[in-house]
Structure 1
Amino acid sequence: MQNTSRLFWVAFLSTCLGIGLFRFSYTSLMPLLVEQKWFTASFASYLSSANLLGYLIGALLAHPASRYIQDRKLIIINAFVGSLSLLLCAIQGLPEFLYIVFRLFSGIAGATLMVLAPSYALRRVAPEIRQKLSMVAFSGIGAGVVISTFIVPYAAQINVGLGWLFLGILSLVFSLLIFIGLLDQQARTVTNYSYEPTVLLQPKQIQMVVLVIAAYALSAIAYIPHSLFWIDFIKSELHQTIHFANQQWAFYGIGSMLGAVFAFYCVKHWQLAGALWRCYLLYSLAIFIPVYLHSFYSLALSSFLTGLLNPAVVSLSSSALLTILGAQHHQSAWSMATAAFATAQLLGGLFMSFLHTHHIDYTNLFFLGAIIMSVGFVCSTCFYIIQKVNLTQLEGKN
């Protein structure tokens, strides 16, 4: 019998590492890397792109790799590889290409954890607690963002190497806990592991899967102005202090910590499809706020809501695919969704960076992001309508 509480911890810590520490921690470190003359501003941007590229590679390879290596082993290996990459980044003065390699592997490890760990846990718990597991699992994203927001910058202000070192040691501790949590899962993984059989999906199932993944991919582009440019927008275009900018990023972190819990209670109140379209609508409005409103409280509201809705949409999208396809086929669908998200994020980031370097200001990028998220809202609304029609037809037959 599987130890359910350990599965909860494994899923939580994996998303904490995969997104919170292996990826979002760099947002807090990037200005200090330039300020303390570790890297030039342009090379610091390249490192960010290397991490996004790694995330795409990991998203594409994670599910195919699980056909040859047990999920449990892949999760453990990538947790430790990602942790090692952070520790190696703490060494100053290495050739620049090595830092690109370190950030690339950090992205690969992060995506692999995001694809495999939640699905691994969902397949091993009773159906009635899967929604709760999803909430706990994706709360790890927010926990990682909070650590990156409130703790890492203080260590890094003393020395960036100390910030990297803190991240690496903390990641190693979390990786060790993941390893311990997966120890008693080995027997079942070995004896019951099987390849997924080919399944024929109904046309409406395919439509719903496409709509959920399309909306999820669009959200990856739409939130780029907040995830990549938010601090620079506040400093450069609004001419505020770094302290003011860090306060706004702290609101983002607080929102991230609550996002998956928010999604859980939305589902209890509106059901899954109803919660999804409402979250996309609110997400569109949150991204639109800084186009016109620049007061402290307006920016704080935008920061908090985008932080809240990022993990909420991740959790709801994963749950939607689970509902459509079932636990046995969730991993392959979630792998596709993560790959679509990573591709959209990488291409969208390059496109928005190109626009900004060609004198398109940040407020226009926020407007573009809000429009793109609105298209995601339309996709999620179509998903809601199809699911509602299906339920009505089933009730009519009964």
Structure 2
Amino acid sequence: MSTTSPGPAAWRAIAAGASASFVGIGLARFAYTPLVPELITARWFSASAVAYLGAANLAGYLAGALSAPWVGRRLGDRRALRWTMALATVALLACSVPVSAAWFFLWRLASGFAGGVIMVRVAGAVLPHLRGARRGLAGGAIFAGLGVGIAASGTLVPLLLHLGLSRTWMGLAALCAVLTALSWNGWPTASTTSAASTTSAASTTPTAPAVAPAPAAPASPPRGSARSRRLGLLLVEYALISTGLTPAMAFLADFVGRGLDRGSGSGSMVWILYGLGALVGPTLYGFLGDRLGFARALLVITLVQAGALAGLAAAHGLPAIAALSVVIGSFPPGVVPVVLGRVHELVPRRPEAQSAAWGKATVAGALSLALSAYLYSYLFDLTGQNHRVLFAIGAVALVLALVVGCAARFVRAGAEAQTPEPAPAGAGRAAG
């Protein structure tokens, strides 16, 4: 496979994709976490209501992931991504006015819907232009916007809060509006996709003799095949990973600010460190996937995260919590390009099938996020707002994800002992 660098048009597509993940998920979802203590202190909503309202974003994310194929067919990726970024911007602006809990719930739901559509459609809209780049690093670059959004929420929210809670929401919306406008014409078109594909093919095999066309690869792994079973196990693994990352994602700042009685300043500081981890997670884990193979990389990072979350459940000192926050923060955005790369390994050579499989993975993760968010909110009330119990449950979910990931490797080993499957084209590294 060629390793030439993407051209200017491809870099514009990467920038647009990163902006979309920044707006639709990085800010629209994660900016809520450092605002939780302030929403309670300012008496906008009760502690239990704030937890459930935060989960509304994840319910919307599930709806968006489920609707993404239909939205893509009706609007096309270019318009779908433009308008969902605009929807996320409007939703943040609407949250600046606490009309009622129902009003807030509606707009948190809308922002989640936008994020779900973006998560499913953005890879298919951008990655076909990056055939010459390593897919792990390319996917990491696209989803790095998610990490940048988390880091920005940790730095911007404390600064904006000096202007008041309503103006904080307005400031976040203004930033999203600017990025939406800047990326509006950066999205690739079908014609540039075709040109990129043609150029890539020509540069890869410039003197290849004419041969009869090879049979088309199946649109998805045959039902009951080893690949199909491994893809099913990957969906379960990703769902369990999503369950494990939810508690820190939703409650970390509140754990430090109110749970440890360190104040909102310390909570924001820890969230900034979480954001610093999120900045490096996508690119680092994408690179790791390129080096180790995405299945093996997924096992390694899940093991590290299970240990970090268990450590957070037991930690009391602020320095230890701060260090663990950097590690844990790298996971929510970093696991995305790794799972995406694993999907591409299991469904090789067919962009349409890869997009469909990635959509299924996103729905599995979104369903798990939504259900677990409400479960954690219920347990938060039931345990008298005990954050440590939630972190411990998250660590258990990650251990279960490890078990499923190891089971997938046994499926492969058993299948290869009987009938080896052909390796994906261009797979020079271990697939795991």
Distance across 2 between alignment mates of 1:86 and 1:311: 21
Q: Report the 3-state secondary structure (helix = DSSP H, G, I; strand = E; otherwise coil) of the residue aligned with 2:395.
A: helix
Distance across 2 between alignment mates of 1:312 and 1:389: 30
Q: Which residue of structure 1 aligns with residue 391 of structure 2?
A: 366
Residue pair 2:220, 2:347 contacting (<8 A) in 1 also: no
Distance across 2 between alignment mates of 1:295 and 1:259: 24
Identity of counterpart residues, as a percentage? Answer: 25
Q: Which residue of structure 1 aligns with residue 167 of structure 2?
A: 162
Q: Report the 3-state secondary structure (helix = DSSP H, G, I; strand = E; otherwise coil) of the residue aligned with 1:67.
A: helix
- Specify whether residues 233 and 344 from structure 1 end up closer, same or farther in structure 2 by C-alpha distance, changes over 3 A only: same
Q: 1:201 aligns with which of 218, 222, 229?
A: 222
Residue pair 1:66, 1:74 contacting (<8 A) in 2 also: yes
Moved more, 290-299 or 220-229: 290-299
Q: Report the 3-state secondary structure (helix = DSSP H, G, I; strand = E; otherwise coil) of the residue aligned with 1:151.
A: helix
CA apart distance, 1:252: 0.7
Q: 2:37 aligns with which of 31, 36, 52?
A: 31
Residue pair 1:318, 1:334 contacting (<8 A) in 2 also: yes
Distance across 2 between alignment mates of 1:199 and 1:174: 36
- Specify whether residues 268 and 241 from structure 1 end up closer, same or farther in structure 2 by C-alpha distance, changes over 3 A only: same
Q: Which residue of structure 2 aligns with residue 152 of structure 1?
A: 157
CA apart distance, 1:186: 5.4
Q: Say yes or no: does 1:350 pair with 2:356.
A: no
Q: Say yes or no: does 1:229 pair with 2:251.
A: yes
Q: Which residue of structure 2 aligns with residue 313 of structure 1?
A: 335
Q: 1:174 aligns with which of 168, 179, 203?
A: 179
Q: Superposition pairs for residues 24-103 of structure 1, below 5 Å? A: 24-90=30-96, 92=97, 94-103=99-108
Q: 2:189 aligns with which of 185, 204, 210?
A: 185
Moved more, 254-263 or 234-243: 234-243
Q: Which residue of structure 2 aligns with residue 5 of structure 1?
A: 11
Aligned residue pairs: how many? 391
CA apart distance, 1:185: 1.7
CA apart distance, 1:379: 1.9
Instruction: Provide, for residues 156-211 of structure 1, a one-character-per-residue CA deviation record: whole Å limited to 9, x for no partner.
Output: 232112111111111111111221102x525457999xxx9854526111122112
Instruction: Provide, for residues 20-69 of structure 1, a one-character-per-residue CA deviation record: whole Å limited to 9, x for no partner.
Output: 11110111223223323333434433421221211111011002322232
Moved more, 235-244 or 323-332: 235-244
- Specify whether residues 105 and 394 from structure 1 end up closer, same or farther in structure 2 by C-alpha distance, changes over 3 A only: closer
- Specify whether residues 156 and 394 from structure 1 end up closer, same or farther in structure 2 by C-alpha distance, changes over 3 A only: same
Q: Report the 3-state secondary structure (helix = DSSP H, G, I; strand = E; otherwise coil) of the residue aligned with 2:172.
A: helix
Distance across 2 between alignment mates of 1:214 and 1:147: 31
- The one-letter code of the counterpart of 1:234 is V
Distance across 2 between alignment mates of 1:391 and 1:153: 54
Q: Which residue of structure 1 aligns with residue 405 of structure 2?
A: 380
CA apart distance, 1:127: 5.4
Moved more, 226-235 or 40-49: 40-49
Residue pair 1:22, 1:107 contacting (<8 A) in 2 also: yes
Q: Which residue of structure 2 aligns with residue 104 of structure 1?
A: 109
Q: 2:23 aligns with which of 17, 24, 27?
A: 17
- The one-letter code of the counterpart of 2:380 is H
Q: Which residue of structure 1 aligns with residue 430 of structure 2?
A: none
Q: Say yes or no: does 1:322 pair with 2:344.
A: yes
Q: Which residue of structure 2 aligns with residue 295 of structure 1?
A: 317
CA apart distance, 1:344: 1.0
Residue pair 1:52, 1:342 contacting (<8 A) in 2 also: yes
Q: Say yes or no: does 1:121 pair with 2:133.
A: no
Distance across 2 between alignment mates of 1:35 and 1:356: 18
Instruction: Provide, for residues 243-264 of structure 1, a one-character-per-residue CA deviation record: whole Å limited to 9, x for no partner.
Output: 3222222211110011012102
- Specify whether residues 172 and 391 from structure 1 end up closer, same or farther in structure 2 by C-alpha distance, changes over 3 A only: farther
Instruction: Provide, for residues 332-383 of structure 1, a one-character-per-residue CA deviation record: whole Å limited to 9, x for no partner.
Output: 1121111111111121122222223222633222222111100111222233
Residue pair 2:34, 2:254 contacting (<8 A) in 1 also: no
CA-based RMSD of the aligned residues comes to 2.7
Residue pair 2:221, 2:347 contacting (<8 A) in 1 also: no
TM value normalised by structure 2:
0.83
Structure 1 runs of 4+ aligned residues shifted over 6 Å read 189-192, 388-392
- The one-letter code of the counterpart of 1:61 is S
Instruction: Provide, for residues 269-299 of structure 1, a one-character-per-residue CA deviation record: whole Å limited to 9, x for no partner.
Output: 4222221110110011011002323222321
Structure with max Cα Rg? 2
Distance across 2 between alignment mates of 1:135 and 1:22: 20
- Specify whether residues 247 and 152 from structure 1 end up closer, same or farther in structure 2 by C-alpha distance, changes over 3 A only: closer
Q: Say yes or no: does 1:257 pair with 2:282.
A: no
- The one-letter code of the counterpart of 2:245 is Y
Distance across 1 between alignment mates of 2:29 and 2:402: 26
- The one-letter code of the counterpart of 1:113 is I
